[in-house]
């Protein structure tokens, strides 16, 4: 099994390359904990999707530690990785095409069942155990997702993007609706749409881009991405992975099992989030869930 780590984001809200910002006294990054948990769950390979210009720094920091335990490879999310007839859209583009496009960057590298996560999110051991259990036996087009509880994934420092999920009684995904501006409030949670604030249940199941796929997903994402390009997207529009997976499911070409977790999410969407991540991991280390340094 392979773990695909999406790490090509611009980190505009954070203000620096947050994926390799140390969060422990011994220099670990959030991404180290995810790789470590994946390794313990039976993953054998990791592929980092990064910007080409960040290759050397990733390889000399994260990569050099991970490659002692797993096979390591790199893929680059390139702005011009679009079908020839849509190359004209690149001239005014200033940001990546989104998380679904980032997954396509590994289509020539990954030929086996694989998981996808964000580099700057802490998912917890339970998530990787669920992904591993599913992917070890998953057949074509039977995907999975680890679903978190919205209230466990919010920050006090601004808005976040989350895929709001509808799940049936058999824990199968019915739909996922990406909301890009969700705020924590004194009484729960709200999302912003068309200039209005709308209440949303803080107990909603949400996608944190923690997915398990079989390799046939690449053709579905590629097809959806081409339709997205054909719609004449704006210079800032992105093709999100939850939306792409929903399209594949709605076409009848896949099903998605949801593994719910009550684990608390930790992430550094904003600079001020770092202290909360540091303190949360200190508590887990004190409780014996992790030891540091991780990579001995």
pLDDT tens track for 23-37: 788 888 889 999 999
Domain presence at residue 227: yes
Of residues 270 and 16, more confidently modeled = 270
Give the domain CATH number at 96: 3.90.550.10
Q: What angle do CA 29, 208, 135 make, to 5 degrees?
A: 90
Asked if residue 293 belongs to a domain, the reply is: no
Q: How far apart are CA 36 and CA 27, in angstroms?
A: 14
The β-bridge relationship of strands 142-149 and 205-213 is: antiparallel
- Please report whether residue 77 resides in a domain: yes
Answer whether 103's CB lies under 8 Å from 4's CB: yes
Could you tell me if residue 272 is left (phi over 0), alpha (psi between -120 and 50 degrees) or otherwise beta? alpha
Residue 174 within a domain = yes
Q: How many other β-carbons are positioned within 10 Å of the β-carbon of residue 206?
A: 25
Residue 30 resides in a domain: yes
Q: List, for residues 201-260, the tens digit of each pLDDT value.
A: 999 999 989 999 999 999 999 999 999 999 988 888 899 898 899 999 999 989 999 999
- 225 lies in a domain? yes
Residue 17 has pLDDT above 70, yes or no: no
Residue 186 lies in a domain: yes
- Evaluate whether residue 294 is within a structural domain: no
Question: Considering the entire predicted model, what is its pTM?
Answer: 0.90
If you average pLDDT over every residue of the chain, what do you get? 89
Q: Which residues contact 250 (CB under 8 A, 6 or more apart)?
A: none
What is the extent of the structural domain holding 272? 2-286
Query: How many domains is the chain partitioned into structurally?
Result: 1
Q: Looking at residue 16, what is its pLDDT?
A: 44
Q: Provide mean pLDDT across the span 71-82.
A: 94
pLDDT of residue 87: 92
Percent of the chain with pLDDT over 70: 95
């Amino acid at each position: 099994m392979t773990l695909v780590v999406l790490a090509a984001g611009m980190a505009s809200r954070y203000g620096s390359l947050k994926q390799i910002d140390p969060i422990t006294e011994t220099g670990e990054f959030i991404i180290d904990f995810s790789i470590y948990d994946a390794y313990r769950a039976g993953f054998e390979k990791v592929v980092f999707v990064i910007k080409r210009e960040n290759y050397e720094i990733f390889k000399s920091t994260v990569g050099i530690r991970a490659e002692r335990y797993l096979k390591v490879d790199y893929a680059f999310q390139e702005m011009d990785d679009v079908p020839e007839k849509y190359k004209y859209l690149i001239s005014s583009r200033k940001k990546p095409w989104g998380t679904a496009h980032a997954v396509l960057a590994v289509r020539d590298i990954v030929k086996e069942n694989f998981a996808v996560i964000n580099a700057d999110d802490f998912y917890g051991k339970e998530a990787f155990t669920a992904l591993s259990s599913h992917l070890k036996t998953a057949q074509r087009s039977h995907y999975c997702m680890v679903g978190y509880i919205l209230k466990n994934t919010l920050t006090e420092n601004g808005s976040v993007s989350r895929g709001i999920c509808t799940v049936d009684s058999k824990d199968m995904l019915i739909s996922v609706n990406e909301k890009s501006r969700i705020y924590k409030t004194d009484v729960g949670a709200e999302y912003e749409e068309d200039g209005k604030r709308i209440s949303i249940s803080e107990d909603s199941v949400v996608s944190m881009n923690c997915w398990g796929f079989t390799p046939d997903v690449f053709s579905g994402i590629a097809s959806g991405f081409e339709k997205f390009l054909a719609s004449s997207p704006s210079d800032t529009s992105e093709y999100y992975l939850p939306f792409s997976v929903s399209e594949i499911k709605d076409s009848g070409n896949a099903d998605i099992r949801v593994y719910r977790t009550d684990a608390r999410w930790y992430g550094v969407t904003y600079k001020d989030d770092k202290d909360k991540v540091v303190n949360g991991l200190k508590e887990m280390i004190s409780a014996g869930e992790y030891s540091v340094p991780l990579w001995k």
